[in-house]
Amino acid sequence: MAIKEAEGNSDVGQVGGYDAKKVVWLIVGLGNPGPEYEDTYHNAGFRAVAYMATHYSVRIRQKCGPALISDRIGIGGETAVLVQPQTFMNQSGLVLPKLFERFSAGIENVIVIYDDFALPIGKLRVRQKGSAGGQNGVKSIISSAGSDGFLRVRVGIMPSHPVGNIRDFVLSRVSKTDRVLLDQTEEIAARAAESLISNGIEKSMAAFNGIDLRENQ
């Protein structure tokens, strides 16, 4: 169960049952802001953290620089905050300075959940670090942080049919045939982010990297 921080409290001293000096995990779901992008493939990260917000009974609505954040939540004895950048995808890294200024966190405490066209729908990958792999949001975060040393949960969005223009596809609405499978993958991605905090990278990779939801169809 999450312990919800009272809204409006500052981050000075003991806040809402939390020590403000304690390291905070930043779970960043990538996507594009605005209702026109809500149901697109590119917003898988947004939806995953939104699922977490519902699960922990918090809302992602507080402003922190160019991002919306949740109240603090408790995961595995650690403290975390859910983040949705309000920049467009290719400027996602702009949220980091204000987050690092407000919370006791560094790039090693960041978990990024994002869509990945290199993986089929129904699969996900937990990764410790590495290149952006063509994902512009991840590229922006690496550029802003000057480091690729953050944890990632990659949500597969590649469909079973051929795609002509990848950019047009990722910005299109999720099809009815893909919706159930992608919803399930996003939910598991949220669990993977929790596991990274509770269990660490090695156990999380072992638990989640072999999942292929297409086998159940």
Q: Give yes or no for residue 15 having a pLDDT over 80.
A: no
What is the four-CA torsion angle of 194, 196, 198, 201, rounded to 10 degrees? 160
- Look at residues 66, 73, 65, 63 and name the one whose alpha carbon lies nearest to residue 32: 66
Looking at residue 131, what is its pLDDT?
82
pLDDT of 4 strictly over 80: no
Domains of the chain: 18-216 (3.40.50.1470)
Facing residues of 123 across strands?
212
Average pLDDT in the chain: 89
Q: For the chain, what percent of residues have pLDDT higher than 90?
A: 80
The predicted structure's pLDDT at residue 172:
96
Distance CA(176)–CA(178), nearest Å, equals: 5
pLDDT in tens, 62-120: 999 999 999 999 999 999 999 999 999 999 999 999 999 999 999 999 999 999 999 99
Q: Which positions are catalytic?
A: 42
